[in-house]
């Protein structure tokens, strides 16, 4: 499951805004893996992967057909996931209270998506992609934190560059003939 997390994380990290349906699918995959791992403990890894992929596919399909709602849901889940992971990285184990930072992070994620749609997608997908990659590694806490920050900055820089490049191309193109 670690390699799959790294692959999904890398794609979401680099192309999360450009392929927003992939970002929503990646968030669905993460949610599906977490839920399957929690509720069907002791089952084979392939079953957890199948459930995670199913929920991810459902999220991606939802994103294609109901874009704003799906991205709002992904913003909530992504924001909650990020909040819990950031707290875990600094050593805080929430236990039964993990839903509190999840809900707070989720609300922040939805507000970000609503207010700054393009940049919110870039930031949330970069955070989510970096988190997925870091979760799959087993380095010490300092290296993990450094890797997370480097990946986060890299994801934001690459996606921001792709967004600016797209804007320049469309402005310099000749107008279409009627």
Other Cβ atoms closer than 10 A to 177: 4
Which residues have a Cβ under 8 Å from the Cβ of 20 and sit 6 or more positions away?
A: 63, 67, 71, 121
pLDDT digit string (tens) for 25-80? 877 887 888 888 878 877 888 888 888 888 888 888 877 777 777 778 878 988 88
What does the H/E/C string look like for the chain? CHHHHHHHHHHHHHHCCCCHHHHHHHHHHHHHHHHHHHHCCCCCHHHHHHHHHHHHHHHHHHHHHCHHHHHHHHHHHHHHHHHHHHHHHCCCCCHHHHHHHHHHHHHHHHHHHHHCHHHHHHHHHHHHHHHHHHHHCCCCHHHHHHHHHHHHHHHHHHHHHHHHHHHHHHHHCCCCCC
Would 169 be classed as within a structural domain?
Answer: no
Would 170 be classed as within a structural domain?
Answer: no
Confidence of residue 166 (pLDDT cuts 50, 70, 90): low
Would 176 be classed as within a structural domain?
Answer: no
Would 78 be classed as within a structural domain?
Answer: yes
Report the alpha-carbon distance of residue 12 to residue 25 in Å, rounded. 9
Would 177 be classed as within a structural domain?
Answer: no
Give the model's pLDDT for residue 1: 62
Give the model's pLDDT for residue 171: 47
pLDDT digit string (tens) for 80-133? 888 888 888 777 876 778 788 999 999 998 888 888 878 888 888 898 889 889
Would 77 be classed as within a structural domain?
Answer: yes
Structural domain containing residue 7:
2-161
Domain total of the chain? 1
Give the model's pLDDT for residue 158: 93
Report the alpha-carbon distance of residue 58 to residue 29 in Å, rounded. 9
């Amino acid at each position: 499951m670690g390699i799959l997390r790294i692959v999904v994380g890398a794609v979401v990290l680099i192309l999360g805004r450009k392929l927003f349906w992939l970002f929503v699918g990646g968030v669905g995959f993460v949610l599906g893996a977490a839920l399957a791992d929690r509720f069907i403990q002791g089952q084979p890894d392939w079953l957890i992967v199948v459930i995670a992929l199913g929920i991810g596919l459902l999220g991606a399909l939802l994103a294609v057909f109901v874009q704003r709602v799906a991205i709002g849901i992904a913003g909530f889940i992504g924001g909650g996931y990020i909040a819990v992971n950031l707290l875990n990285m600094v050593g805080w184990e929430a236990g039964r209270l993990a839903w509190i930072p999840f809900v707070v992070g989720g609300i922040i994620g939805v507000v970000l998506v609503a207010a700054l749609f393009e940049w919110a997608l870039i930031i949330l997908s970069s955070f989510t992609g970096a988190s997925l990659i870091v979760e799959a590694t087993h380095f010490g806490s300092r290296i993990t934190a450094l890797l997370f920050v480097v990946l986060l900055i890299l994801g934001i820089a690459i996606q921001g560059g792709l967004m600016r490049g797209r804007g320049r191309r469309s402005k310099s193109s000749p107008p279409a003939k009627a």
